[in-house]
């Protein structure tokens, strides 16, 4: 997440917490954009990225498998079609390819998920 101050963010209510499966993801349409939201319950963390996998231009990342990689236990998502993996923190492609996905600030309040575009 690359932002300077939470005060400058505009938050959009994406869905209820219960709409996102534990240790999985789902897609929400926010301001005309498909946003993948992940509930990484094993880690107690939430993430939001673009839903579009840049490899084959498929709206699929919300259905990908999430996990951790490396000594730093970097949280990642793997595209369900071609297994390209992306950091949930930075959006960098972890498969060695020159791809990048957008990541978004996310917060949970009163049982709802909020995302800032």
108/81 Cα distance (integer angstroms) = 29
**Integer CA distances (angstroms), 66 to 58, 69, 86, 117, in order:** 17, 10, 10, 22
Query: Rounded to 5 degrees, what are φ and ψ at 62?
Result: -65, -20
User: Looking at residue 61, which CATH number applies to its domain?
Assistant: 2.102.10.10
* 42 located within any domain: yes
Q: Where are the alpha helices (DSSP H) in 1-117?
A: none
Model confidence at 5, pLDDT cuts 50, 70, 90, reads low
23/43 Cα distance (integer angstroms) = 9
Q: What is the pTM of this model?
A: 0.92
Average pLDDT, the chain: 94
pLDDT tens-digit map of 80-98: 999 999 999 999 999 999 9
> CA geometry: angle at 31 spanning 15 and 57, to 5°?
95
* 101 located within any domain: yes
Give pLDDT, residue 29.
Answer: 98
* 64 located within any domain: yes
Look at residue 79 and tell me whether its pLDDT is greater than 70: yes
* 1 located within any domain: no
Nearest CA to 114 out of 65, 45, 24, 46 is that of: 46
Residue 19: both structure tokens together: 């709409």
pLDDT tens-digit map of 20-75: 999 999 999 999 999 999 999 999 999 999 999 999 999 999 999 999 999 999 99
Model confidence at 11, pLDDT cuts 50, 70, 90, reads very high
* 26 located within any domain: yes
Look at residue 3 and tell me whether its pLDDT is greater than 60: no
Find the domain containing 109 and state its range: 6-116
Nearest CA to 25 out of 44, 38, 41, 14 is that of: 38
Total domains present in the chain: 1
């Amino acid at each position: 997440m690359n932002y300077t101050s939470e005060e400058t963010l505009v938050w959009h209510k994406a869905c209820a917490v219960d709409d996102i499966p534990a240790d999985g993801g789902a897609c929400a349409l926010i301001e005309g954009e498909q946003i993948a939201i992940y509930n990484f319950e094993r880690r107690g963390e939430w993430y939001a990225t673009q839903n579009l996998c840049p490899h084959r231009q498929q709206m699929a990342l919300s259905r990908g498998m999430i996990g951790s990689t490396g000594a730093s236990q970097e949280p990642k998502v793997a595209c369900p079609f071609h297994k390209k993996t992306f950091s949930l923190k930075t959006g960098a492609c972890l498969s060695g390819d020159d791809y990048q996905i957008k990541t978004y600030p996310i917060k949970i309040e009163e049982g709802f998920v909020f995302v800032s575009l």
